[in-house]
Amino acid sequence: MTRIVVDPVTRIEGHLRIEAVVENGVITDAFSAGTMVRGLEKILMGRDPRDAWAITERVCGVCTTVHALASVRAVENALGITIPPTAEIIRSIMMTTQYVQDHVIHFYHLHALDWVDIVNALKADPKKAAEIAATFSKWDKNTPTYFAEVQDKIKAFAASGLGIFANGYWGHPAYKLPPEVNLIAVAHYLDALSWQKEICKIHTVFGGKNPHPNYLVGGVPCSINMNEVAAINSERLNLVKRLIDQADEFVSEVYIPDLLAVAGFYKDWAGYGGGLSNYLSYGEFPTKGYNQPDSFKYPRGVILNRDLSVVHPVNATDSQEIQEYIAHSWYTYDKGDSEGLHPWAGETQIKYTGPKPPFETLAGFDKYSFLKTPRWKEQPMEVGPLARLLVAFASGRTDVQDLVKDTLGKLGVGVPALFSTLGRTAARGLDAALAMKWLKEYYDLLMVQVKINEVSTFNGEFWEPKSWPKDAEGVGLTEAPRGALAHWIKIHNGAIENYQLVVPTTWNGSPRDAKGQRSSFEQALIGTPVAKIDEPVEILRTIHSFDPCLACAVHLYDPQGRHIAQVSFE
Amino acid sequence: MQQKGYSRRDFLQFCAAAATVAGFGQTGVAQVVSAFEKKDKPAVVWLHFQECTCCSESFLRASHPIVLDVLLDVLNLNYTETLMAASGFQAEKCLTDTIANNKGKYIVLVEGAVPTKDDGVYCMIGGKTAESILQTVAKDAAAIVAWGSCASNGCVQAAKPNPTGATPIYKLVDKPVINVPGCPPIADVMMGVVTHLLVLGQLPALDSQGRPKEFYGRRVHDTCYRRPNYDAGLFVESFDDENARKGYCLYKMGCRGPVTYNACSVIKWNEGTSYPIQSGHGCIGCSEEGFWDNGPFYQHLASFPGFGIESTADTVGTVVGVATLAGVAAHAVVTNIRKHQVIAEVHAEDLKES
């Protein structure tokens, strides 16, 4: 029995440590630890609720915008604000843009090197690479000259030190791609790096900057005026259109074809990394406003035991449904560490009981992470693109069903293949393809609004704190690219009295709960083979398939050990 | 009010403060320059502490040069947890090898603040605290760049009550630190700093807060295309009102442009696409120390001591509060009057200097 430690887990956001127990070349137990905490919820206390989007947006710069959206929704929910339809469309344009950008970056820059051997790409025949690429993509850049140039670039780079590619697991027996496919993927890794900065400009048009564009309680900050240069006008909308067209081409001719080509060589990974069998999605992309979740393009719901015949309803305001546990987290609860608390009643008393740094292992420590452990009706849930697709599939959404069936057909695998590391990575690609399609739809809807002059982007009815009730509480639900994300807020006398975030990587990457039930990362690693314990690329494959975001996952801390719910701001 | 303008004495005090705060003596400058008088691509490590990775993401958005060319041709980025292929001890080896093989010659780019409370347990990487990693890596560095507001001034985790004791880098190391604040900094500003350092082999001139004057020498307000609206008293009164749709000044909506030193309204964001004010939201002042605690974002600023476009961050203190309409008008008037006085003073100072 060997205990492998991977720390830092790189090519993620934030600070993650994985400790895995390997017996006879197979993982038999795993521990996922978040090792950084900032205390943002504590910092939110007493502030103006209208500022919360800006503070919570800084939870994460990789999944930028998503916390801002959850936050403005939570405040609007608390204060009974309905935003104008045009503002909702612009928010959806921002969010679909984020999906597409985030997923492409994840595939090429955070995940691909678990599957693609960059050194092996030097052995490829560029002409043959172009021929192979032509079989699955119409992208006109895929020429022998282009692949030869990329190869030369990498050769020169290797000669001057490998920089970010140094000390990778190159030549590891788990890499299965032929040199030409490695070269295609490496070439597109470089292209994606240059492309991703383009699609982000959509955020900049509507939000002024990226990362961290501006949001606004009550709508969006930009105004539309087709007769004014200093507003959203024809030129701005044309720019957005061009960026959407570019993105559409990149997703359909580069990302999706590459994903399927690479996946075709790793079908064995449809048998590993399945992990949990419960899936949660809050639903996303309103078509008749946020207050009508039935209209969302992605529906809300829970799937239990991989049973796609039943979708269970989710109520985020029910104190018995979503709860957070700290049995194995560096916190303590007044009523005992085995309790579960709904976010509106959340307690936050940090108590680091881990080893004094520097340390070698967390083995032997009952508590081992700064992440709390969320549960839905006491059950662990996987969240993310796969969960979204499964809930939509099971809810009878034909657009999702058709896309999923078509993709499974292309790969020659059945529905059970979805419940795996490979399935998770493929689901992210389909999620991006759907987001791309919806981004185009939302743009067209925006143009209709402009045409009929329905251009209001802000509802200021309850902007002034004097119009607010003395006490209010709300919840903002979103589906971030990484999965179910919600913010819970309590407002008292115009100030934030309590603010809690339960984010995707907290669901997926948390330590086990009081009952010993593992969360997604830990469960998914069980049964994974590890060929070389000093080069555990297999661990990275499964962990990266969740697209971890640790800054999001850990954000709590109250140094006074007070109950946040009891802090008053008279 | 005239007494709040700057004199030669103030200027000299500032110079001394700048040298102390930034930690740059003449030796520091020479050290950096000599580090790049060689043909090899310079070795660079990028550390991640208490941050949200928005600085890394912003770096990827650069348009001139594009990040790909920088990564492949300009420098050897041997350690960055966001992009590097290696994980675990192979990743740590990238860091230790770079330090061992490039003593005194490598550049450290730091993203994130360092928690100093409770022996630093609030940020640990590879079982080591952020602070111990910073000290080890900084020891033999030629220079240190603090990316973003987290590393430059603590940013959001250092906002009241700063639960984890989040501390900016310059307070923890006795090395030169170039502060490049912003949440995040503009991509092409980051590239500008990198190339100024690595391609020119020169340290950019810094202000009293260790920020390159090249990008942080002017207030957003004074370079804003909406500034004429301010001077004419044309203000947005509510988001998306008629005035907002005409692109009037966002001062009354809480815009922090008047007290924020950054390049947003000149360079703009994402290859010059837009910047917050152009897209209808006031500046939140994200490159200024303590900006999270400078009052609610939608409360507009009180009038400031008179200062004009010639002022620098070194002479203007941030005064925040709730302004009255009279205050806004007074500010507008004073600004114009002060402008002429300040120009005269600057000319006088220049003559003395030369």
Q: Scanning every residue of chain B, which has its alpha carbon at the shortest distance from the alpha carbon of A197?
A: B61
* B121 contacts A354? CB cut-off 8 A: yes
Q: What is the mean pLDDT of residues B337-350?
A: 43
Does A339 map to a domain?
no
In a shared domain, residues B76 and B192: yes
- CA-to-CA separations, A120 to A184, A509, B150, in angstroms, rounded: 12, 32, 39
| Contact (CB<8Å) B86/A54 | no
Based on the fold, state whether residues B347 and B292 are members of the same structural domain: yes
User: Which is it for the CA torsion A80, A86, A87, A93, positive or negative?
Assistant: positive
Same domain, B13 and B75: yes
d(CA A71, CA A474): 10
Instruction: Kindly list the residues from chain A whose CB atom is less than 8 angstroms away from the CB atom of residue B132.
Output: 357-358
Q: What is the nearest CA distance from A175 to chain B, expressed in angstroms?
A: 14
Q: Among B183, B214, B245, where does a domain finish?
A: B214
Most A-contacting residue of B72, B75, B87 (CB-CB within 10 A), to test interface? B87
Closest A-chain CA to B270 = A201
Distance set, CA A467 to CA A256, A374, A470, B237 (Å): 49, 34, 9, 17
Contact B123 A196 (CB under 8 A): no
Helix or strand (DSSP H, E) at A26: strand A26-34
Distance of CA A316 to the CA centre of its chain: 19
Distance CA(A246)–CA(A241), nearest Å, equals 9
Name chain A contacts of B77, Cβ cutoff 8 Å. 163-164
| Chain B positions in Cβ-Cβ contact with residue A559 (cut-off 8 Å) | 117, 161, 163-164
Same domain, B154 and B268: no
Which residues neighbour A289 within 8 Å (Cβ) at sequence distance 6 or greater?
A82, A83, A85, A88, A295
Angle at B225 between CA B246 and CA B155, to 5 degrees: 105
Question: Do residue B224 and residue B206 come from a single domain?
Answer: no
CA–CA gap between residue A34 and residue A343 (Å, rounded): 20
Do B114 and B236 lie in one domain? The reply is no
Q: Whose CA is closest to B249, among B311, B329, B308?
A: B329
Instruction: Look at residue A355 and give its three-state secondary structure.
Output: coil
Provide, as residue numbers in chain A, all residues whose Cβ is less than 8 Å from the Cβ of B279.
204-209, 213-214, 221-222
Q: A102-111: string of b/e by CB count within 10 Å (b at 16+)?
A: bbbbbbbbbb
So what's the pLDDT on residue B302? 66
Question: Tokens at residue A187, please?
Answer: 């070439």
Q: Which two tokens stand for residue A161?
A: 């030190």
Q: Which of B52, B128, B163 sits opposite A557 (nearest CB)?
A: B163
Q: Do A43 and B225 touch (CB under 8 A)?
A: no
- The alpha carbon of B240 is separated from its chain's Cα centroid by a whole number of angstroms, namely 30
Q: Does B156 share its domain with B273?
A: no
Q: Please, are residues B258 and B304 in contact by the beta-carbon 8 Å criterion?
A: yes
Pairwise CA distance, residues A225 & B246, whole Å? 8
Domain containing A483 equals: 2-319+377-566
Q: Of B240, B262, B265, B286, which to mutate for an interface test with A (greatest number of A Cβ within 10 Å)? A: B240
Q: How far, CA to CA in Å, does A130 sit from each of A73, A83, A136?
A: 47, 49, 10
Burial class of residue B289, CB neighbours in 10 A (0-12, 13-18, 19+): buried
We report the CATH number of the domain holding residue B269 as 4.10.480.10
Reported confidence tier of residue B339, pLDDT bands at 50, 70, 90:
very low
Q: Are B351 and B11 in contact (CB under 8 A)?
A: no
Contact B71 A38 (CB under 8 A): no
Q: Does B14 have pLDDT greater than 50?
A: no
Closest-CA distance of chain B to residue A383, Å: 21
pTM of full prediction above 0.80 = yes
Given this model, what pLDDT does residue A554 score?
Answer: 66
Residue of chain B minimizing CA distance to A554 = B122
Question: For an interface test with B, which of A4, A5, A10 has the most B Cβ atoms less than 10 Å from its Cβ?
Answer: A10
Nearest beta carbon to residue B161 from set A42, A105, A212? A42
Query: Residue A399: what pLDDT?
Result: 95
Run of H or E including A149: helix A144-159
- What is the count of structural domains for chain A? 1
Percent of chain A with pLDDT over 90: 92
Q: Which chain A residues are closer than 8 Å to B58 by Cβ?
A: 61, 211
User: Does residue A326 sit within a domain?
Assistant: no
Closest by CA to B286, choosing from B263, B306, B304, is B263
Q: Which residues of A touch B297 (CB under 8 A)?
A: 48, 50-51, 54
Give the tens place of pLDDT for each residue, A75-101. Answer: 999 999 999 999 999 999 999 999 999
**A239: closest chain B residue by CA:** B273
Q: Which domain holds residue B133?
A: 2-214
Task: Name every chain B residue with its beta carbon within 8 A of the beta carbon of A169.
Answer: 85-86, 90
Based on its alpha-carbon atoms, the radius of gyration of chain A, rounded to whole angstroms, reads 23
**Structure-derived torsion over alpha carbons of residues B243, B248, B250, B253, reported in degrees to the nearest 10:** -10
Q: In the sheet where A495-502 sits, what is the strand order?
A: A471-480, A483-492, A495-502
CA distance B345 to chain A (A): 35
Q: Which of B48, B124, B283 should one mutate to test binding to chain A, selecting the residue with the greatest count of A CBs within 10 A?
A: B124
Give buried/exposed letters for A246-268 (b at 16+ CB in 10 A, else e). Answer: ebbebbbbbbbbbbbbbbeebee
Please give the residue of chain B at the shortest CA–CA distance from A552: B52
Residue of A nearest to B271 (CA): A201
User: A373 and A328 in contact (C-beta within 8 Å)?
Assistant: yes
- What per-residue confidence (pLDDT) applies to A41? 86
Longest alpha-carbon distance in chain B: 63
Domain final residue, candidates B193, B214, B235 = B214
Strand partners, A325: A340, A373
Residue B39: what pLDDT? 59
- For residues B53 and B30, what is the distance between their CA atoms, to the nearest angstrom? 32
Q: Are residues B8 and B153 in the same domain?
A: yes
Contact B274 A214 (CB under 8 A): no
Determine contact, residues A5/A360, Cβ cutoff 8 Å.
yes
Query: In chain B, which residue's Cα lies nearest the Cα of A190?
Result: B68
Examine residue A372 and state whether it is found in any structural domain, yes or no: no
B95 touches chain A (CB under 8 A): no
How far away is chain A from the Cα of B216, in angstroms, using its nearest Cα? 18
Q: Within a 13 Å sphere around the CA of B96, how many CA atoms are in the beta-carbon half?
A: 7
Within this chain, do residues B254 and B133 fall inside the same structural domain, yes or no? no
* CA nearest to B247, candidates A236, A429, A18: A236
pLDDT at A207 (0 to 100): 98
Q: Does B136 touch chain A (CB under 8 A)?
A: no
Task: Give the side-chain half-sphere CA count within 13 A for B295.
Answer: 15
Nearest to A357 among B91, B127, B264 (CB): B127
Q: pLDDT, tens digit, for every residue of B81-94? A: 999 999 999 999 99
State which H helix or E strand residue A325 sits in: strand A322-325
pLDDT band at B27 (very low <50, low <70, confident <90, very high): very low
Model confidence at B313: pLDDT above 70: no
Which residues of chain B lie closer than 8 angstroms to A5, CB-CB? 88
Q: Give residue-wise pLDDT tens across range A475-528.
A: 999 999 999 999 999 999 999 999 999 999 999 999 999 999 999 999 999 999
How close is the nearest chain A Cα to the Cα of B311, in Å? 26
Domain boundary among B185, B214, B243: B214
pLDDT at B163 over 80: yes
For residues B162, B166, B168 and B169, what is the CA-based torsion angle, rounded to 10 degrees? 170
Please check the confidence at residue B230 and state whether its pLDDT lies above 90. Answer: yes
pLDDT digits 0-9 by tens, A265-294 = 999 999 999 999 999 999 999 999 999 999
Distances in whole angstroms, Cα of residue A483 to Cα of each of A18, A198, A477, A503, B160: 21, 24, 11, 8, 30
Are residues B246 and B193 part of one domain?
no
CATH number at residue B205: 3.40.50.700
Per the CB < 8 A criterion, the answer to whether A193 and B72 are in contact is no
- Tell me which chain A residues have a C-beta less than 8 angstroms from the C-beta of B230: none
Q: Find the distance separating the first CA and the last CA of chain B, reported in whole Å.
A: 28
Which residues, including other chains, have CB under 8 Å from residue A548's CB and lie 6 or more apart?
A9, A12, A13, A14, A16, A482, A505, A508, A509, A521
Cβ separation B83–A168 shorter than 8 A: no
Mean pLDDT (whole number) for A442-465: 98
* Residue B309 confidence (pLDDT) above 70: no
pLDDT grade for B8, boundaries at 50, 70 and 90? very low
Strands (E), A334-454: 340-341, 349-350, 373-376
Using the Cβ of B322 and the Cβ atoms of chain A, whether some distance falls under 8 Å is answered with no
The CATH number for A93's domain is: 1.10.645.10
Type of residue numbered A272: Y
Q: What percent of chain B has pLDDT over 90?
A: 69
Query: What contacts A100, CB < 8 A, 6 or more positions away?
Result: A199, A247, A251, A432, A435, A436, A439
B41 CA: distance to closest CA in chain A (Å): 8
B3 min Cα distance to partner chain A (Å): 35
Q: Do B281 and A160 touch (CB under 8 A)?
A: no
Range in A56-70, A145-159, A300-314, B24-38 the model is least confident about? B24-38
| Lowest mean pLDDT segment, chosen from A101-105, B96-100, B332-336 | B332-336
Identify all chain B residues contacting A457, using CB atoms and an 8 Å cutoff: 239-240
B228 and B124 fall within a common domain: no
Q: Same domain, yes or no, for B184 and B305? A: no
What pLDDT is attached to residue A160?
Answer: 84
Read off the pLDDT of residues A190-238 as tens digits, 9 standing for 90 and up: 999 999 999 999 999 999 999 999 999 999 999 999 999 999 999 999 9
The answer to whether the Cβ–Cβ distance between B57 and A208 falls below 8 Å is no
Average of pLDDT values for B293-298? Answer: 91
B149 in A contact zone (CB under 8 Å)? no
CA distance B254 to chain A (A): 11
ipTM reported for the complex, 2 dp: 0.95
Q: How many domains does chain B have?
A: 2
Residue B178's beta-bridge partner residues? B145
Contact B87 A8 (CB under 8 A): yes
> Which of A71, A212, A41, A51 is closest to B292 using CA atoms?
A51
pLDDT of the residue at B175:
87
